Structure 1
């Protein structure tokens, strides 16, 4: 073949491809280059060393790698280091990729194309892998499980970061508080707590945040966006975490258990708060009186009497009552409209606020989270628990202005006040008899209806009031809470103790305790000694 024919075919001097993986051929590199130089000067072109040429518009020729000098493989060739050559370059940013498919995916960053759409939340993604990982948010799938602690993850990257905790890999540490973090990014975000840095701010209310995620969640307050929806009740939430916790109210799942009392909770935060009962930790302190509290809500209630400078700018247009927060005003307005959005599925009762609904649910579940350390009694409501503690502390904050008698409960003081005024606002509709307390009227109405709702579990005897049942139970338990201070004798009933203290004679009946005299023989039985009423149990 002549040189003119070779030029028409586009043949060029050979290009050497030397495999660096095989060290034994490195010694022949110099001799191979000399042979190639001789063949180029003589114009000889071997069949195995020919290369293809692509013509350019400017008349220059660009050599393309020859396939004859390389072994034929099904997969693409790799360089001497074992890495695939990055021959596909982005024309905008200059980034190079190994395959055209990777370059095509990268090109979507510049064009903004997101071909993978989520049908549930409408979010779009560039890569199919990111779309599959996002689908696990809705399905709850967590395929990556830790063998040591059993915790599961939806993404491999989160799982790999979690494994560092068990492998005891050297983790980044905060120099101020000594806390360890899995990533340097988490450490830098944590250090903003010490420095007070809040680089992200809301353009509408100018509130600042430490992380971009907190800002994104906060902006949904202004936009009203709630992208996460419960599949059962169709209730929507602003964050995925709130939606997940809400779904546990339907399933009854409580994954967090207390190792001491085996009580379980739906959220980790509720478990951490519960553990303070066992440890006695009180992390919330009042700066004015230096008193510590277990719960933040208790500290806020403690601050309310001293917090008189807060403006009550939210006023009810119907009754004129003012509140410091718009949420409190919204709950108050339900008392005028009659709206009760919280319904009990068991008994059908409705409530104005969620707090009343939660406390009511404890009646059906039997839950009593408030435990008295003195007597071991448990309570379902915090208000009843606080009133009970005053029995042990002797605190009686409610005092009568006329007789200076003190009471534990405000309702007891109001009922006592009617003894001075003679007011009896509760009247029986059948016999027109009036009473000073509503509870006494309800017990009186049972005398007309014959209802006895309180039953003894041992002898099945029924009673009109719960107090009568409690007194009756002393027969079975043998309890004698009343005692005489003179002879130290115990009695089951207070009436029996009064009879014991009073000496009934036809000439001079009197009380041995207080010395009171009586004109009739039956008066000592009705006499209530003031010293006796001050004793425990009366």
Structure 2
């Protein structure tokens, strides 16, 4: 019995060997990583946990390995605006904005676009496809983003307001464009005639005048137009529709601008003063025609308003002179 008990107990040497094996296992293991059978691998693995020593000389960003640094340095960056793209294809697509390349052409109106997804949205204009409808009012939209913006109107959400007049908008870019009315800023200019615009879509529409492009047509008479809104107004000539009514006299008009001009006849408002003589007009076109006719020097006559004032002064002076020397005016 004693001999068996002695054999069952491990010897001191065996105990030392087992302790060494356990310590080697502990040295080979790392938190969050399986134990390795290679005695050298723990040393290599611990290098991952060192501080980042691979720095980018351009931007100063640090990386844990040279491969990540190389991948970072091979990023696709636009040399014009500095925008970083995820791939070379994305960079080439982005650079079309700077070079003005428009490879995607509409088969209906021959209009060209920079990106294919914009062409797909544009094609819905010709097909009149509007798959997104508002559940509140039933109005339909071509894109989901347009529907989302429209639905904010029903909730009364207008988070962006003008600091000068308090007018509120749904989106920030709408407020930025509106602020140009107060500042008078017109950053988009026509290279052919020099006319300036507050919005880029207005400039694009204006450029069709120089190019003679008229992609929109009337379905009744075939007349061509340069703007998409013009056929909608023009078709009222054929249908007889006059949706805008004056609340004071009951007259109806085909356009809202026509009603606005008519209301000035009731209010007497003349918001367009002549820069030459100060005479006011109810329409800007009348003021421009007056200024060109009387103040540009092309026609060597004075403004009728100015002549009237001079004549009144002359007649009043003549009457005063008559009272002083009545014998001169006697027959």
TM-score above 0.5: yes
Is 2:134 the partner of 1:286?
A: yes
Distance across 2 between alignment mates of 1:107 and 1:377: 74
Unaligned runs of 5+ in 1: 1-56, 59-89, 140-229, 453-538
Unaligned runs of 5+ in 2: 1-15, 18-27, 300-331
Which structure has more helix as a fraction of its residues? 2
Q: Give the aligned partner of residue 202 of structure 2.
A: 359
In structure 2, the CA distance between the partners of 1:341 and 1:423, relative to structure 1 (3 Å rule), is closer
Distance across 2 between alignment mates of 1:377 and 1:318: 41
Q: Give the aligned partner of residue 438 of structure 1.
A: 284
Once the two structures are superposed, the pairs formed by residues 57-72 of structure 1 within 5 Å of their partners are: none
Distance across 1 between alignment mates of 2:267 and 2:149: 33
Q: Give the aligned partner of residue 226 of structure 2.
A: 379
Distance across 1 between alignment mates of 2:119 and 2:76: 25
Give 2:256's match in structure 1, choosing from 376, 395, 410: 410
Instruction: Report the TM-score when normalising by structure 1.
Output: 0.38
Whether the aligned pair in 2 keeps the contact of 1:108 and 1:114 (CA below 8 Å) is no
In structure 2, the CA distance between the partners of 1:432 and 1:406, relative to structure 1 (3 Å rule), is same
Distance across 2 between alignment mates of 1:289 and 1:271: 28
Give 2:113's match in structure 1, choosing from 244, 249, 265: 265
Give 2:63's match in structure 1, choosing from 112, 119, 124: 124
Q: Deviations over 1:332-380 (max 9, x none)?
A: 44544x273844373666655xxx1232144236496862351352334
Could you say what secondary structure the match of 1:340 adopts?
Answer: coil
Q: Over aligned residues, Cα RMSD in angstroms? A: 4.8
Once the two structures are superposed, the pairs formed by residues 137-216 of structure 1 within 5 Å of their partners are: 137-138=75-76
Q: Deviations over 1:419-455 (max 9, x none)?
A: 4566656566778876542213323444334879xxx
Whether the aligned pair in 1 keeps the contact of 2:168 and 2:175 (CA below 8 Å) is yes
Distance across 2 between alignment mates of 1:97 and 1:379: 77
What's the offset of the Cα at 1:410? 1.9
Q: Give the aligned partner of residue 253 of structure 1.
A: 101
Q: Give the aligned partner of residue 212 of structure 1.
A: none
Give 2:50's match in structure 1, choosing from 103, 107, 111: 111
Distance across 2 between alignment mates of 1:316 and 1:430: 33
Distance across 1 between alignment mates of 2:268 and 2:109: 51
Q: Give the aligned partner of residue 321 of structure 1.
A: 167
Once the two structures are superposed, the pairs formed by residues 385-464 of structure 1 within 5 Å of their partners are: 386-391=232-237, 393-420=239-266, 435-448=281-294, 449=296
Q: Deviations over 1:220-246 (max 9, x none)?
A: xxxxxxxxxx53245x68x76998765
Distance across 2 between alignment mates of 1:285 and 1:371: 25
Instruction: Report the TM-score when normalising by structure 2.
Output: 0.57
Could you say what secondary structure the match of 2:165 adopts?
Answer: coil
Whether the aligned pair in 1 keeps the contact of 2:130 and 2:141 (CA below 8 Å) is yes
What's the offset of the Cα at 1:273? 0.5
In structure 2, the CA distance between the partners of 1:326 and 1:259, relative to structure 1 (3 Å rule), is closer
What's the offset of the Cα at 1:274? 1.8
Give 1:340's match in structure 2, choosing from 185, 191, 199: 185
Q: Give the aligned partner of residue 274 of structure 1.
A: 122
Distance across 2 between alignment mates of 1:273 and 1:359: 19
Distance across 2 between alignment mates of 1:389 and 1:339: 34
